Amino acid sequence: MAGKSDYVTGTITLTNGQASFSGTGSGWQLAQIREGDTVIDVTGATEFMGVIASITDNTSGTLTKPWEGPDVTAEYRIRYMADGQRSTAQARLLIELLGNGRLTAIAAAAEPAGVIEMLPGGSARLVPLTDLVSGANYDVQVANMAARAAFDGQVAGFAVLVADTGDGRAAIFSKLSNASGDWSAAAYVTGPPITLDITEVDEVPYGAPPDVTLTPRAGGYDVSFVIPRGMIIEPGATTTLASDQPAAVTFVPVTGGYRVDFAIPRGPTGDIDGVTPFWVTRLGSDADATAARTGLGAVGAPGSAADNRIAVFDGDGNLLKDGGKTIAELTPANGSVTNVKLADMAQATIKGRAAGAGTGVPGDLTAAQVLAITDAYAKSNILGAVSQSAGVPTGAVIERGSNANGEYVRFADGTQICTRTQSYPSVSFSNVSGSIYFAASAPAAVFPVSFSVLHDASIKTFASGKASWAATGNQPTLSSWPNFYAFAEISGTAPLVVYYFAIGRWF
């Protein structure tokens, strides 16, 4: 077979002293570059070569030893190993593997029927096929741990299957030595018991679908039923599942209701077929009605009753009787509130009780009493004095005020804003600072109310006929704006209006 041409697609990066290499624009895996092929550096006068140990993907691989040539990122050639050379090497490896004495050992062993040859430690051994396919092996099975004691004197390797180790699980124990009672730890072959407990049964309207919820817990499941009113629920099939499978419930429609089929994981004995769970008895037949009502009291039916009337309990709670009223008679016309409940109700009031436990007819509550009871805000109490206790608002939502120092707004969340407007009829911009002019320093202005935390304080100026601005002379305090200088680009006098602004918190 003709040899393949050298592979030259893309560029390669080789680093002196490193076995790993990478490519750009290459497709080494697609081109079937393999172990034994040769990388050739064709960039210099000396062609350095490296044998490939492995190819990771289309753009990376490793050499059998670190690259001995210079660092290079350039064109390259990868020369394929000839198929004949590769086949010769594989054949030589096979001959070496077959020549280590293992085939000789197999050939020397007798081969009766029903055995398989194994080579533990280099010598052939015949193992019965049943030992490999029969699962867990043991010499004897006993019912419990007490019965295992009869075999305490057996030799090392003797195995006993105990059906119930004390918690419902089965396990195999092996003698570790010839010493009496020297048993291994339990090798469990079944899981813990699986139990079902009904924790809740809820009733839903007739015609609604039934439902059941299985909640996993230690040792089994808690079962919650949703049963449609007036529909029968009868027990169905119980199917055994593998121990690692989740329990499942299926509702199958039947005449007048549903049949409940359970699928339960295998328990400690490996089977629950033939076992009647307690819920089957509870839901199964009228004959067991008394047992099904355990804990509910002996409730009896009324002697007689008229159609559509409400059933009520008698004095001792153990007997239902005719309530004497139909649903229609107890339902107000058009779904309205009865006149008794609306009697003596004043306009724009709500029935209730403002204070005291009291009994009897509720009184009329005013809007103010309703707000006090519900701790709500309305247009009558949104504006007012704000207050707080430990950061919780106890007063109005917004407070607005003013004094000789300006105006302020306080909010219930602690935010505070202060403003002030000051007018000067004539201000002289006669002081020179470079190519601009400024007026005499204006004094600090006191806030209309003080801050507990100040976030920002600013001053803006507007001079008639001039472009002007303010520059502060120092820092503001919690109680005042700083003094400032008014600047303009030209000299002269002009009326000046100053706008002060500050924002922070009042608590």
Q: Does 343 map to a domain?
A: no
pLDDT at 174: 95
> 240 and 222 in one domain?
yes
> 181 and 279 in one domain?
no
Q: Does 6 map to a domain?
A: no
> 402 and 498 in one domain?
yes
> 84 and 113 in one domain?
no
Does residue 294 carry a pLDDT above 80?
no
> 116 and 90 in one domain?
no
Q: Does 438 map to a domain?
A: yes
CATH number at residue 476: 2.60.40
- Percent residues over pLDDT 70 in the chain: 76
> 118 and 73 in one domain?
no
Mean pLDDT, the chain, rounded, equals 81
Is pLDDT larger for residue 235 or for residue 76?
Answer: 76
pTM listed for this prediction:
0.34
CA distance 249 to 235: 11
In sequence order, what are the residues at sequence separation of 6 or more whose Cβ sits closer than 8 angstroms to the Cβ of residue 104?
none
Q: Does 4 map to a domain?
A: no
Q: Does 301 map to a domain?
A: no
pLDDT digits (tens, 9 = 90+) for 147-174: 999 999 999 999 999 999 988 888 999 9
Looking at the 3D structure of the chain, how many domains does it have? Answer: 5
Query: Contact, 402 vs 461, CB < 8 A?
Result: no
Q: Which of 6-10, 97-101, 443-447 has the lowest mean pLDDT?
A: 97-101
- Backbone phi, psi, residue 403, to 5°: -155, -165
> 223 and 183 in one domain?
no
> 172 and 75 in one domain?
no
Does residue 280 carry a pLDDT above 90?
no
CATH number at residue 65: 2.40.30
In this prediction, residues 458-470 reach a mean pLDDT of 93
Does residue 46 carry a pLDDT above 50?
yes
pLDDT at 332: 59
Cα end-to-end distance, the chain, whole Å: 93
Does residue 65 carry a pLDDT above 60?
yes
Residue 319 gets which letter from DSSP? Answer: B
Q: Which of 100-104, 208-212, 389-393 has the lowest mean pLDDT?
A: 100-104
Q: Which of 96-110, 413-427, 431-445, 483-497 has the lowest mean pLDDT?
A: 96-110
Instruction: Show which of 276, 292, 308 is a domain's final residue.
Output: 292
Q: Which of 188-197, 326-335, 471-480 has the lowest mean pLDDT?
A: 326-335
- Backbone phi, psi, residue 371, to 5°: -65, -40
pLDDT at 121: 57
Tokens for 457? 């304080």
Catalogue the E-assigned strands of 48-98: 49-57, 60-63, 72-74, 77-79
Is pLDDT larger for residue 45 or for residue 76?
Answer: 76
> 126 and 166 in one domain?
no
Distance, CA of 450 to chain centre: 49
Q: Residues 84, 87, 91, CA angle at the centre, nearest 5°? A: 140
CA distance 33 to 40: 13
In this prediction, residues 122-130 reach a mean pLDDT of 67
3-state secondary structure 290-317: HHHCCCCCCCECCCCCCCCEEEEECCCC
> 163 and 239 in one domain?
no
Residue 167's nearest CA partner among 138, 188, 185 is 188
Domain range enclosing 150? 140-188
> 79 and 110 in one domain?
no
pLDDT digits (tens, 9 = 90+) for 335-348: 455 555 555 566 66
Q: Does 386 map to a domain?
A: no
pLDDT at 344: 56
Instruction: Show which of 154, 188, 222 is a domain's final residue.
Output: 188
Q: Which of 217-221, 265-269, 354-358 has the lowest mean pLDDT?
A: 265-269
Tokens for 355? 């204070």
What pLDDT band is residue 271 in, cutting at 50, 70 and 90? very low
CA distance 156 to 136: 17
CA distance 71 to 12: 10
In this prediction, residues 85-113 reach a mean pLDDT of 65
pLDDT at 310: 82
pLDDT at 5: 82
Query: Contact, 500 vs 462, CB < 8 A?
Result: no
> 116 and 60 in one domain?
no
pLDDT at 279: 43
Q: Does 371 map to a domain?
A: no
Q: Does 317 map to a domain?
A: no
pLDDT at 472: 92
Residue 409 gets which letter from DSSP? Answer: E
Helices (H), 299-439: 327-330, 339-342, 367-374
